[in-house]
Structure 1
Amino acid sequence: MLKLLMTLLITSVSLFAAGGGGEHVENPDITMTWVGLSCLFIFAIGYYFIAAEDKYEIDKAKPALFIGTFMFILVAIYYVLNDLNMDLIHIQANHLILEIAGIFFFLFVAMTYIESLIHMGVFDVLKYKLVTKGYTYKQLFWATGIIAFFLSPIADNLTTALILATVLVTIEKKRLDFLVPGAINIVVSANAGGAWSPFGDITTLMAWTAGKGTFTDFLFLFPASIIGYLVTAFLLSKFVPNEVPSFDAEKEIKPEMAEGAKVVMVLGILTIACAVLSHQILHLPAMWGMMFGLAVLKVYSYGLKKRHGVEHFKIFDSIAKVEYNTLLFFFGILSAVGALYFIGWLALAAVVYDPSVLGPTWSNIGVGFLSAIVDNIPVMSAVLKANPAMGLDQWMLVTLTAGVGGSMISFGSAAGVGVMGKLHGIYTFSSHMKYAWTIVIGYFVSIGVWYLQYEVLGFYHIG
């Protein structure tokens, strides 16, 4: 039994290997078998509980991890019972493990740096400076949106959205005409900002590590991302009051950054640079540079301990606060999507990319709407697993639409779900949908900018 379970787990890994190297082996199509239909049903039920995590008060990592592992166990059992080639499971599982591990450790290091900066008071200082400047609601609306757009490419869209949502409720706790547009603004800007950075969102990170574009290729999405966001923000700003909020700065204790915080910020930037150099020049996985950056941070934390005492900065405290549920959700959902790929369901879905059906452009535009309903991580994983024949321009389009499209519905992205939790009862599905038309307009503006830049001008690659 242990041997069988190990075989199954290895099988699951194979699915995510669409962009990986190695020998290509054709998998038998088992879609219409009992295991193929069962796994499709299990995925649908599991995803229902993932989408309804607030209703059932269950962390989405639990159903994701269950269906991801269980589906592969069923597939492996089917292979054993029908005396199929178990090497198919073993080979592809190894590819998937490598892919997931690379992204897993990349996110682990990034989250550790963010938690370290939170511990050292960097974001408390940012929040204090914003709320004590005497800005109007409208000015604060624009300030939080712009900060979110440029912070999410460095941090990530979820962390960025949570930090700036905290700023919103610090400024105002009751005025919905500020809080709701402000929350939507933060979600849209965080998702748009993450779309043009290889590590600003999990979807872009997946596309980058799968080799669908170089680091600089993603930067060319900046015009489409920012112009689409600015259009949505401009429309939303019309609903925000132009009044100065009542806020007594004297009652707030002015926070100070801990000694060494600025050095940690610099190390974070250098760590990202190491990841880029590792992936683009040294041909090592991007996580290799990130892990080196973590090693440097640990060395620096040792120096801080010697100078300021043990309690000043504990690196393992920051590691302990990493959102492991997010990482486990990531593992589970990619394993589940991988199982669907291994069975053969994604090959059927990829038919829409055929020019005689929808073609890549309209299919990729549809990905954005699907991301809003389902979630951009499994959708992007499915596209990467199906691996339709597309040029760089189309891979950048699907990166843009998957990243930005999740903003159209409140629970369509991690940033949206996070802000719904932070502004519980204020930022809801219904309050979001009241302004959803502004996001849809910005979405199509982003696509229009992409079309002009990529298809008309051909400006999207260096060299």
Structure 2
Amino acid sequence: MEALLILIFALGYLAITLEHSLKIDKLIPALVMMAVMWALISLGIDAFPNWFDSAQHNLMEGFGLLDHSRKMELMEETLLHHLGKTSEILVFLLGAMTIVEIIDYFDGFSTIKDFVRTKSKRKILWIFSILAFFLSAIIDNLTATIVLISILQKIVKDRDVRIWYAGLIIIAANAGGAWSPIGDVTTTMLWIGKKVSTGHLFGYLFVPSLLCMVVPSFIASFLPVFRGELEIEETEEKKKSKFSSTMLYLGLGAIVFVPIFKVVTHLPPYVGMMLSLGVVAIFAEIYSNTKFSMTEFYADESDAHASHSPVHHSLSKIELPSILFFLGILMAVAALESLGILFNFAGSLEEYMPMLGTEMHYADGSRGVSDLVILLLGVGSAIIDNVPLVAASLGMFHEPMDNELWHFIAYSAGTGGSMLIIGSAAGVVAMGMEKINFFWYLKKISWLALIGFLVGAAAFMVTRTLF
């Protein structure tokens, strides 16, 4: 039965990668794969020997001895747990995307567009890479990607060129998220789990993460697509809203407020994002010139905005297919995690791969973990998903807080996902916003991400000797 589930996941994954060849939107195989996998788990619950306790990050003892009704209860609890965790991400994403659309409603991004005076493709590449690196550390890589691609769409009109920039933004955003406790879901998991501290995370990972961004951007700057200047379309300038700058700073400030809210209240990030969305929406409604009644609409703004409040208009612009795709892929991975498949896979890697680098020994006599295992975990995070792999590592490894192992896991899981476009939340969002082809990314961007990943890993092996 486990083999069948893995086969269904592989077929669904293949259908997602062949989206453009099959002419089937990627959300369809993602949702079908998720539903079929959980249905098989429900129907064959008695055939599974293991069950992964997500709360304890370990396999349950004696699961095979439980009666059918208790197993079904556990399955329902686990399904609800994963739906809750996935919904946290989706609600957070909905909030961030709505704020970005509200900013765009008031032409807020034209303010940043006005700051980018250069037409040089190479300079614009560096501007967006550096912005993605630092912004992702502050507001997380997912939100940073949404914001920067939204700005990019206002500056670079040629989609064939723009998707190259989007690919480098994914690499830079994932690299920037790795050295901040709020920059990526996996580093947040390790931080909340008391495996890493903010100071040591910065000390261990800032330089490796910076190199992971700088090296691919440097190599890419010599590629033909980034030579010369952008062709600016001569179009009639649309009248800029007088509130554009105000809404830009308010919107970005509201997003930056989210991690502060989380630290102060210890509530999940989506709660802070909903508060931020509410505040931004209040000002949007106040600033909007749109006035409407039950039967008539009057507007001083453009026709596109005439029949909507800013919030309604912004919600209608959100990429819901991307949200549903995210739901399908995360819940499908959760199915593999729940049966302990990912946990056992990670354990097999640790047991059978040869030890590389310095072998560590601890007071309890346990041996250290191979650098190769952690690098493979990074590669695995691109293929599957970094969240369950890090969740499995929390139960597998028992090193103390701020041990170099945890920081290497944070780096590998955070940046390894850049090697495939569906290997990270930033990549999935960019794929939805720009309709980037899986194989285009694999051919054009993956090799740059791999070089950056390996250079950063090598740098980490040097920086860890300094602590």
TM over 0.5: yes
2:131 counterpart residue number = 147
- Contact 2:133-2:172 at 8 Å conserved across structures: yes
Per-residue deviation, 1:202: 5.5
Cα shift at 1:169:
4.4
| Distance in structure 2 (CA, Å) of the matches to 1:275 and 1:347 | 32
- 5 Å-filtered alignment, 1:58-77, equals 58-77=24-43
- Aligned partner of residue 406 in structure 1, secondary structure: helix
Alignment of 1:457 with 2:463, yes or no, is no
By how many angstroms is 1:315 displaced? 0.9
1:283 aligns with 2:266: yes
The alignment status of 1:335 with 2:328, answered yes or no, reads no
Q: Kindly tell me the number of residue pairs found equivalent between the two proteins.
A: 410
- Pick the aligned partner of 2:444 from 422, 425, 432: 432
Partner SS state of residue 317, structure 1: helix
CA-to-aligned-CA distance 1:402-460 (integer Å, 9 cap, x gap): 332233356655656747984979x9357516x82x5433222212333344x2233xx
Residue 123 of structure 1 corresponds to 109
1:267/1:297 contact within 8 Å kept: yes
Q: In the alignment, is residue 299 of structure 1 matched against residue 279 of structure 2?
A: no
Q: Please name the residue that 2:409 is paired with.
A: 398
AA aligned opposite 2:330: L
Tell me what 1:18 maps to: none
Give distance in 1, aligned partners of 2:316 and 2:192.
26
Q: CA deviation at 1:116?
A: 1.4
- Report the equivalent of 1:324: 320
1:162 maps onto 2:183 in alignment: no
- The TM-score with structure 1 as length reference comes to 0.73
Identity %: 26
Q: Does the residue aligned with 2:68 lie in a helix, a strand or coil?
A: coil
Cα deviation for residue 216 of structure 1 reads 6.9
**Structure 2 residue aligned with 1:89:** 75
- Give the conservation status (yes or no) of the 8 Å contact 1:334–1:381: no
Q: 1:348 offset after TM fit, Å? A: 1.5
Whole-Å separation in 2 of the counterparts to 1:284 and 1:246:
44
Give the counterpart of 2:88 among 94, 99, 102: 102
Contact 2:211/2:455, CA 8 A, preserved across alignment? yes
The residue identity in structure 2 corresponding to 1:456 is: T
* Structure 1 Cα separation of the partners of residues 180 and 244 of structure 2: 24
The CA distance in 2 between the partners of 1:211 and 1:255, in whole Å, is 51
- Return the offset for 1:338: 1.8
Two-structure CA RMSD over aligned residues (Å): 3.9
How far did 1:257 drift? Answer: 4.8
Q: State how 1:47-446 maps to structure 2 within 5 Å.
A: 47-79=13-45, 83=68, 85=70, 86-127=72-113, 129-130=115-116, 133-153=117-137, 154=139, 156=143, 158-160=145-147, 162-163=149-150, 166=153, 169-170=156-157, 184-197=167-180, 200=183, 221-239=205-223, 245=229, 247=231, 251-254=234-237, 257-272=240-255, 274-305=257-288, 309=291, 314-352=310-348, 354=350, 357=353, 359=369, 361-372=371-382, 374=383, 378-385=385-392, 387=394, 388-389=396-397, 391-392=401-402, 393-409=404-420, 412-413=423-424, 418=430, 422=434, 428-429=440-441, 432=444, 436=447, 438-446=448-456
Q: Normalized against structure 2, the TM-score is what?
A: 0.72
AA paired with 1:332? G
**Residues 72 and 110 from structure 1, CA distance in 2 versus in 1: closer, same or farther, beyond 3 angstroms?**
same
Shift of the 252–95 alpha-carbon distance from structure 1 to 2, 3 Å rule, reads same
Q: Which runs of 5+ in 1 are unaligned?
A: 1-33, 459-463
Once the two structures are TM-superposed, the CA of residue 351 in structure 1 deviates from its matched residue by 1.0
In 2, the alpha carbon distance for the partners of 1:419 and 1:218 equals: 29
Displacement of 1:294 in angstroms is 1.9
Question: How far off its partner does 1:349 sit?
Answer: 0.6
